[in-house]
Chain A
Amino acid sequence: MPNYGDDAIYVWSITLIGIVLPVLMIGYSWLRVHLSKARLERLQQEEDQA
């Protein structure tokens, strides 16, 4: 690991936030598409059975 001295806490915290926030957004997008697709498939299945 490189030694950034006094700046290390700032550089690494900014980098960590820069990784965590996009990962959270990817998780949110995946969850949204997964839930809406599951709902559509359930409704289609119910219609097919009726």
Chain B
Amino acid sequence: MLSYLANPLRFMRFSRLAVPIGFALGIVMVGLSLYNGLLVVPPDERQGGDLMRAMFTHVPSAWLCMGLYAGLAGASFVWYIWRHELADVAARAIAPIGAGYTALCFITGSIWGQKGWGAGWHNLILGDSRLMSVLVLFFLFLGYMALRAALETRQKAARAAAILAMVGIVNVPIIKVSVDMWQTTTIHQPSSVISIGSPEPREEGSGMNPVYLQQLLWGFGGHTLLAAAMIMMLMRSEVYTQQADRLLARKLEGA
């Protein structure tokens, strides 16, 4: 599938159809998740009663921002090793969408934490390893975009930004394990869906109730489709820009 779409012409044909389908399905799935999460499922007293309804916005954005960074690093790796131009186009398109979802995760997490943990802004950001590592992820996305804009040639910018993206991937597992491994530096709750390396054994039945998990998965699936559609739109934009630049260069050569 990926090698089929690696051809820009095939990608443009595929994305013309995939973008509207992605938007339509994504909106329906996110709408379903929010409707059920806000109005249908009962409040969970273990997670702060009605306040836990924030989870249906916050958690999909948290999963997605880490996934998008992994996508950025993966696309950068493909460009760096094989110099495949469409991989660079994809990396460039992922960065602003990743930054947007990271901002969404950080803002919603901060608001939720203010009420849920009773912590002020200062303690939330500086005293919590999960929020701090998400903030670092946001700056990595911004740094990637700034680096691309700062260097004069496309090749130099792509090379420097790809190295930054690949090095920055180390932050993704740090975000994931921050709440399980470093419990003294976080006020965030431990992972409730997938737990890696938690030092404390979990009680029987302490995992997430399937009623909530189902809505989370609808929300995550919907936001993933929306993000994919936006990334394909930005990739289409980049392909148009490159075609226009080539046309302009030809015109200037002829003049």
Contact = CB atoms under 8 A, between A and B. Distances in A.
A and B, one complex? yes
Interface of A: 2, 4-8, 10-11, 13-15, 17-19, 21-22, 24-26, 28-30, 32-33, 35-37, 39-40, 43-44, 46-47, 50
B55 to A, nearest CB: 9
6 contacts: A4-B53, A10-B112, A11-B38, A22-B104, A29-B237, A33-B233
B251 A29 contact: no
A14 B58 contact: yes
Contacts of B114: 10
B140 interface: no
Chain B contact residues: helix, strand, loop or mixed: helix
B244 interface: yes
Contacts of B151: none
Given A26-B230, A43-B251, A7 B108 contact: no
Interface in B30-45: 30, 34, 38-39
B28 interface: no
Chain A contact residues: helix, strand, loop or mixed: helix
B39 A2 contact: yes
Contact of A21 (B23, B100, B115, B248): B100
A33 B226 contact: no
A29 B230 contact: yes
Contact of A29 (B49, B50, B233, B247): B233
Contacts, number: 109
B241 interface: yes
Contact of B104 (A5, A8, A21, A36): A21
B96 A28 contact: yes
B247 A40 contact: yes
Contact of A5 (B50, B100, B103): B50
A18 B34 CA distance: 10
Nearest to A50: B251
B54 interface: yes
Nearest to B236: A33
Given A30-B233, A32-B233, A11 B50 contact: yes
Interface in B49-65: 49-51, 53-54, 56-58, 61
B107 A33 contact: no
A37 B240 contact: yes
Given A18-B104, A21-B100, 8 more contacts: A10-B111, A14-B57, A15-B34, A15-B53, A17-B57, A26-B226, A37-B236, A40-B241
Contact of B112 (A6, A14, A32): A14
Nearest to B61: A18
